[in-house]
Amino acid sequence: MNSDDLQAMLAIGGLALITVLTRAFFMIPRREIPMPGWLRRGLKYAPLAALTAVIAPEVFMTQGMLLTTWQDARLPAVLCACAYYFYRRGILGTIVVGMLVYLPLHVGLGW
């Protein structure tokens, strides 16, 4: 095994260890970790913030630039999916509605 292979294995092992420790941080202690109320309230919004950080650039950007035209199939699909979600509060229906709007516009009209 050459030094490049060893470095790659060490990097993978280190990243795996860091991932396990950070994801299991709240499960390792035997009792609940004391946290201030403001932190506990803030952590309730972490999943929503992470989801927004992943989805927003995918919807509003193309190749690292903000969209410059309204003729992008993602925009009406997101609007219709959001409207459905606020009306019915169903995740599966939201995905289906979004894709039913997106696919004809993207494939059919080439948006």
Q: Are the C-beta atoms of residues 98 and 78 closer than 8 Å to each other? A: yes
Token digits of residue 61: 């950007």
- The answer, yes or no, to whether residue 1 has pLDDT greater than 80, is no
What's the confidence (pLDDT) of residue 25? 78
Hunting for tokens 């950007």 — which residue is that? 61
Straight-line distance from the first to the last Cα atom of the chain, in angstroms, rounded to the nearest whole number: 50
Average pLDDT over residues 90-99: 94
Return the higher-pLDDT residue of 27 and 9. 9
CA dist 77 and 32 (Å) reads 42
Amino acid at 7: Q
- The answer, yes or no, to whether residue 88 has pLDDT greater than 90, is yes
CA dist 75 and 81 (Å) reads 10
What's the confidence (pLDDT) of residue 38? 94
The model's pTM is 0.60
- Dihedral pair phi/psi, residue 86, rounded to 5°: -70, -25
Where would I find the beta strands (DSSP E) of 1-111? 61-62, 65-66
- Dihedral pair phi/psi, residue 70, rounded to 5°: -85, -10
What's the confidence (pLDDT) of residue 3? 86
Q: What is the DSSP letter of 109?
A: S
Over residues 21-74, the pLDDT tens digits come to 888 877 777 888 788 999 989 888 988 899 889 989 988 898 888 988 888 999
Q: What's the pLDDT band for 82 if we cut at 50, 70, 90?
A: very high
> Could you give the percent of the chain with pLDDT greater than 70?
100
Hunting for tokens 């650039």 — which residue is that? 57
